[in-house]
Structure 1
Amino acid sequence: MSETIARKILHIVAISISAVSPYFIPHHILVIVVGVAVPVLFFLVKYGFFIDADQGRKSWGIVYFAAVLLTLLLLFPKNNELVFFPMLVLALADGFATIVGNLFGKRTFSFGEETKSWEGSTAFLFFTILSFEIIPKFLPFIRSPFDSFSALIIVSVFLTLLEALSIKGRDNIWVPLAVAYWILLDTTFINLFSLALIVVITAIVFFTYKKRWLTSAGAVATFLLGCLLLISPEPKWIIPALFFFVAGSLISFLPKSNKEESLGGRTANQVFYNGGIATVFISVYFLTNQFMFLIGGLSALSAAMSDTSSSEIGSRYGRKTYNILTGKKVISGLSGGVSLVGMGAGFVFTALFSLISIGLMDSSSWKLFLILLISGMAGNIMDSLLGALLQVKYRSDSTAQWSDFPTESPNQEMMGFRFITNDIVNLLTTIFAAFLGLLLYNLL
């Protein structure tokens, strides 16, 4: 048989054994075994022992799977189903999706660097449902985690889209973690109305995709984040996210932009790096009912709102832009540059976002408003500082102007760190703002 199919058969068998292992092996022994395996696998993959036959690159997915297995074992030592179902879905759905796609896949699609098939994704959906609903009926030590048909379908579709969007073996991270999240969440609230909400999300995302606010991958990423917020015990918290998304998209399509990324729709990376941290914090709030995590998530969104409005409006209408560290004049739109118009716009949109957010709270107060406003503006400033200090910039030998984007010149100059792009700066900014919001909430 082909190397790809042989590798996926090993994937199915090995990860299925991992799924049932907590029921038959003492927990401390299993943690030791997997704990030893993770660094061993890391070095084996790093030095080229495992190569992905399809992509011709190192198979980091093996390390990701082992690391996630260890994480689940450590986090849930007394809840075996939070190891069993994440590993079982990864084993069966992901494994058979690749086999079916490899043997029968004729209709393909791509959300980025990798091409997948509709036949493979259909197999993933089928085996996800099989893992949740059918297999537990034959195992006396486990029961299905979802009591309603609606929850089963929503979660299965969510996981299928997540796998389709994942690249470079990272589905071995995101799929099992997502399974664990949906099992931890009390899904008894999910019903036929929830399916109607899915239709609403789909319609909104499709509309924004047709308007070219989003790329195809960006549309799927937006759908996934929207599901986490809307299919929840408190779906109202999608409203601040919608305000950020709609306002940010409309601002980015204002005329006279000189920012290259504004010429097309937002990509999956841009969606995740701007809204992913906020969604994670708000999702933790849904699981724990700890209000501070909601504040952390809204603080991250506030910073994303402040930065987006500040940079987009400032790059268009800010007459004078200065480097935040040196005070020297720079071209409009360059990362690390600030303008009076841009900072003013950031303040206004952050204030609007904060007002909308506290208006949704059961016991809103000016203290909470100030937390979101301060976190948002502080995140905006941090974004500029990181942009000036660390973000990669380019300049050709024929111009004295620095740019955030590579030039076509073979002798281009570069400063900053190549891997710290604008997306990475946005991610770091939202992380900073989220933890600042947590700190302020606990201090004030």
Structure 2
Amino acid sequence: MVESTATDAVLFRLALGLFISASIGLLAYWRRSLARSGVLGAIVTGTLIFGFGGWIAGLLLIAFFVSSSLLSHFKENNVRKQRAAEMFDKGSQRDLAQALANGGAAAGWAVLSWLAREQPATADALYAAMVGALAAVNADTWATELGVLSRSSPRLITQLHQRVAPGTSGGITALGTGAATSGAAFIGLCYVVFTVLYRAITGPADAPDASSHFLAVIIAATIAGLAGSLFDSLLGATVQAMYYSKRRDKETEKRFERDGTPNRLIRGWPWLNNDWVNFLASLFGAAVAAGIWIIATGNR
């Protein structure tokens, strides 16, 4: 009977998650924040996170998506932002690969957390990993969208004495690092707010066990998110595929120009584009969050 009730609850949340994510995805497409394929990605990740992670997880995904979409359009006509955008592989309209890169890891951790629900300590650690994954992608998005507005030239994370052009993979600034920290903390704080509201509506008995350790969640999300963002920069400076555009005489993440002209690979692994970097960074953030959670709670 208990198993049947749990399954029914998930099926209801999956149906509701499908409706909510589809509605938000279509609205985002209308607002030019998502490409057509990006709507599909939003539906897949949103449905899984809502269904298996629950309301709090679903609201965290919405918090990430709304804040990152708003920042994508923030000062979009700024000269620094437009010049940096020329180096990026893709524009502000997220496609399927970007949606999965940003939300795929969190969706996976949500599913695993639900499957481990009969082992509370393991389920809580996996849930913390999900929060860490969202904190990492949110931190990286905030760092990218705000960091390019810095008046100071970025420094390469592997050689801090070396200044690089805004938008260069692996480049970091004080503004971008501060934005990453804020973006990660934002997810942690949202978790606390959403959990308090959830408990007020449903009662403590229905709230996730992890919600009783608010300080641990905020600390884990902030550290994990910042770590994920810096790991993203480290990959960008070392092994991410980077190309040289002869037409524009500059380094770029773009494998091809808009007219299909191929650019020359100058460093990195050909398969490791920005989407893979974002996904790996979210996994790194998830691992850090889970580790901090286990240490902070004694894995009780």
- What TM-score, normalized to structure 2? 0.79
- Corresponding letter in the other structure for 2:140: D
Partner of 1:274: 102
> 34, 43, 65: which one pairs with 1:214?
34
CA distance in 1, matches of 2:252, 2:281: 20
Kindly tell me: are residues 247 and 318 of structure 1, through their superposed partners in 2, closer, same or farther at Cα, counting changes over 3 Å?
farther
**2:202 equivalent to 1:369:** no
Question: C-alpha displacement at 1:310, in angstroms?
Answer: 0.3
Kindly tell me: are residues 383 and 305 of structure 1, through their superposed partners in 2, closer, same or farther at Cα, counting changes over 3 Å?
same
Q: Contact conserved, 2:140 with 2:180, CA < 8 A, in 1?
A: yes
Kindly tell me: are residues 367 and 418 of structure 1, through their superposed partners in 2, closer, same or farther at Cα, counting changes over 3 Å?
same
Partner of 2:68: 248
Question: C-alpha displacement at 1:356, in angstroms?
Answer: 1.0
Question: C-alpha displacement at 1:190, in angstroms?
Answer: 5.6
- Corresponding letter in the other structure for 1:320: S
Name the larger-Rg structure: 1
Q: Cα deviation per residue 1:342-376 (whole Å; 9 max; x = unaligned)? A: 11111112111111113325313322211111111
Q: Contact conserved, 2:101 with 2:276, CA < 8 A, in 1?
A: yes
In the TM superposition, 1:201-240 aligns within 5 A as 201-232=21-52, 234-240=54-60
Kindly tell me: are residues 191 and 371 of structure 1, through their superposed partners in 2, closer, same or farther at Cα, counting changes over 3 Å?
closer
**2:132 equivalent to 1:299:** yes
CA distance in 2, matches of 1:205, 1:399: 34
Unaligned 5+ segments in structure 2 are: 118-122, 196-209
CA distance in 1, matches of 2:144, 2:9: 40
Q: Contact conserved, 1:252 with 1:262, CA < 8 A, in 2?
A: no
Kindly tell me: are residues 196 and 353 of structure 1, through their superposed partners in 2, closer, same or farther at Cα, counting changes over 3 Å?
closer
CA distance in 2, matches of 1:279, 1:351: 20
Partner of 2:207: none
Question: C-alpha displacement at 1:396, in angstroms?
Answer: 3.9
**2:178 equivalent to 1:344:** yes
Q: Contact conserved, 2:22 with 2:42, CA < 8 A, in 1?
A: no
Kindly tell me: are residues 193 and 347 of structure 1, through their superposed partners in 2, closer, same or farther at Cα, counting changes over 3 Å?
closer
- Corresponding letter in the other structure for 2:186: L
In the TM superposition, 1:80-119 aligns within 5 A as none
CA distance in 1, matches of 2:25, 2:263: 42
**2:19 equivalent to 1:199:** yes
- Give SS of 1:345's match: helix
CA distance in 2, matches of 1:362, 1:410: 50
Q: Cα deviation per residue 1:141-194 (whole Å; 9 max; x = unaligned)? A: xxxxxxxxxxxxxxxxxxxxxxxxxxxxxxxxxxxxxxxxxx999422267787
Question: C-alpha displacement at 1:209, in angstroms?
Answer: 1.1
CA distance in 2, matches of 1:271, 1:212: 14
CA distance in 1, matches of 2:287, 2:13: 34
CA distance in 2, matches of 1:381, 1:233: 26
Q: Cα deviation per residue 1:94-150 (whole Å; 9 max; x = unaligned)? A: xxxxxxxxxxxxxxxxxxxxxxxxxxxxxxxxxxxxxxxxxxxxxxxxxxxxxxxxx
Q: Cα deviation per residue 1:41-97 (whole Å; 9 max; x = unaligned)? A: xxxxxxxxxxxxxxxxxxxxxxxxxxxxxxxxxxxxxxxxxxxxxxxxxxxxxxxxx
Q: Cα deviation per residue 1:411-441 (whole Å; 9 max; x = unaligned)? A: 8451111111111111111111111222222
- Give SS of 2:159's match: coil
> 257, 260, 263: which one pairs with 2:91?
263
* Aligned-residue RMSD, C-alpha: 2.7
- What TM-score, normalized to structure 1? 0.54
- Give SS of 2:243's match: strand
Unaligned 5+ segments in structure 1 are: 1-182
Question: C-alpha displacement at 1:222, in angstroms?
Answer: 0.5
When the two structures are aligned, how many residues end up with a matched partner? 263
CA distance in 1, matches of 2:58, 2:164: 37
CA distance in 2, matches of 1:424, 1:378: 17
Kindly tell me: are residues 422 and 318 of structure 1, through their superposed partners in 2, closer, same or farther at Cα, counting changes over 3 Å?
farther
Q: Contact conserved, 1:277 with 1:431, CA < 8 A, in 2?
A: yes
